[in-house]
Amino acid sequence: MKAAVVNSFNQVPQFKDFETPQVTEKSVLIKVLASSVNHRVQSQANGSHYTSDGNLPLIPGLDGVGQLKDGKLVYFVTSDPVYGALAEYTVVDRRRVIPLSAGVDVNEVAASMNPAMSSWMAIQDRLAGNISGKKVLVLGATGNSGRLAVEISHYLGAKSVVAIGRNRAKLASLGAEKTISLLDDEKELSQAIKSVADVDIVLDYLWGDAAKKVLTTLLPARADHSQEITWIEIGSMAGAEMALPSAALRSVNLKMIGSGQGSISPRIYLSELPKLAQLISQGNFNVAVGAFPLAEVASKWNQKSDQRLVFNP
């Protein structure tokens, strides 16, 4: 079969022949129709993700849309360390396959599930779905995941959503009750952050210095320091590390947790994903898609675009 193959972490995946995977009693062979590339898949392919075991070769790709042997359409999450989704065929644990309705746009589902999943799972699992009537702040709201986090927070019952990011035009299009640009001058930015200091939940896609700036400005400005604020670390687009002042943990009722692979069990993911897949297949929470033949994987891998990159084997 043909696949996007990683033979070196210093090189983008190459379109090459690769041995077709063998099915076991617990797995199923899937003919891949569409699979997306995001920052998580890119870090898998260059060996930088915290889950990487350093073993090569491998086919990257975490999820996608495909067909079973009987022709049924499914969304799948990969389970094999070698056989990812960016191939003509992949092999997946039977428990990681979710049926889809016939006629859905396979590219839209493949593109949208992963970015939507990040906030959906953070809210449904890490917060036990408890955001009804809460004030939510999305830090890093102008990326695909952040934009969907605004929509999903509203859908799941948030009282209001504050969107923080760089791109002012994108911020204005999000439908958030309040937007704050990180490009504002220091005084304006501090005042804007202080004005939303009473938020209950932060969905953080940035971390690094950007998160430190927001956190150290927001926390002291809270009128009631005993009011709980839950900070959920989801992504690290602004840096993998943050120096957190110890007083931030002592002076306010701050609860800081992570959400992602490892902190949420596969069983919980699979219990939540059918509902999310249904909503996406019905046209909810979709992102813009840029779809290309898998044969173009090397040339398109690092392209910069607002569209979610999807490959069709």
In a domain, 28, yes or no: yes
**Is 0.75 topped by the overall pTM?**
yes
In this structure, are 252 and 300 located in the same domain? Answer: no
State the number of CA atoms in the 13 A half-sphere of 33 facing the CB.
20
In a domain, 308, yes or no: yes
pLDDT tens, residue by residue, 177-193: 999 999 999 999 999 99
In a domain, 108, yes or no: no
| % of the chain at pLDDT higher than 70 | 100
CA distance 81 to 52: 9
In this structure, are 200 and 296 located in the same domain? Answer: no
How many other CB atoms sit within 10 Å of the CB of residue 71? Answer: 8
pLDDT at 53 over 80: no
In a domain, 213, yes or no: yes
pLDDT at 226 over 80: yes
How many other CB atoms sit within 10 Å of the CB of residue 72? Answer: 12
Confidence of residue 237 (pLDDT cuts 50, 70, 90): confident
Residue with tokens 């065929």, as numbered in its chain: 89
User: Once rounded to an integer, what is the mean pLDDT over residues 37-51?
Assistant: 86
How many other CB atoms sit within 10 Å of the CB of residue 175? Answer: 12
**Rg (alpha carbons) of the chain, rounded to whole number:** 20
In a domain, 166, yes or no: yes
In this structure, are 241 and 295 located in the same domain? Answer: no
In a domain, 275, yes or no: no
The reported pLDDT for the residue numbered 101 is: 84
User: Once rounded to an integer, what is the mean pLDDT over residues 140-148?
Assistant: 94
| % of the chain at pLDDT higher than 90 | 75
CA distance 206 to 201: 15
pLDDT tens, residue by residue, 12-21: 999 999 999 9
CATH number at residue 148: 3.40.50.720
In a domain, 235, yes or no: yes
Residues spanned by the domain of 292: 2-103+283-312
CA distance 225 to 163: 22
Confidence of residue 300 (pLDDT cuts 50, 70, 90): very high
CATH number at residue 82: 3.90.180.10
In this structure, are 75 and 121 located in the same domain? Answer: no
In this structure, are 95 and 128 located in the same domain? Answer: no
Tell how far CA 234 is from the center of its chain.
8
In this structure, are 148 and 236 located in the same domain? Answer: yes
298, amino acid identity? A
Confidence of residue 83 (pLDDT cuts 50, 70, 90): very high
- Report whether 37 contacts 95 (CB < 8 A): no
Domain count, the chain: 2
Spatial neighbors of 17 by CB under 8 A, at least 6 apart, are 1, 2, 3
pLDDT tens, residue by residue, 252-283: 999 999 998 788 887 888 788 888 988 998 88
Q: Which helix (H) or strand (E) segment is 46 a member of? A: helix 39-46
- Report whether 137 contacts 199 (CB < 8 A): yes
In this structure, are 164 and 130 located in the same domain? Answer: yes
Whole-number average pLDDT of the chain: 93
Confidence of residue 104 (pLDDT cuts 50, 70, 90): confident
pLDDT at 168 over 90: yes
pLDDT at 49 over 80: no
User: Once rounded to an integer, what is the mean pLDDT over residues 82-90?
Assistant: 97
In this structure, are 249 and 133 located in the same domain? Answer: yes
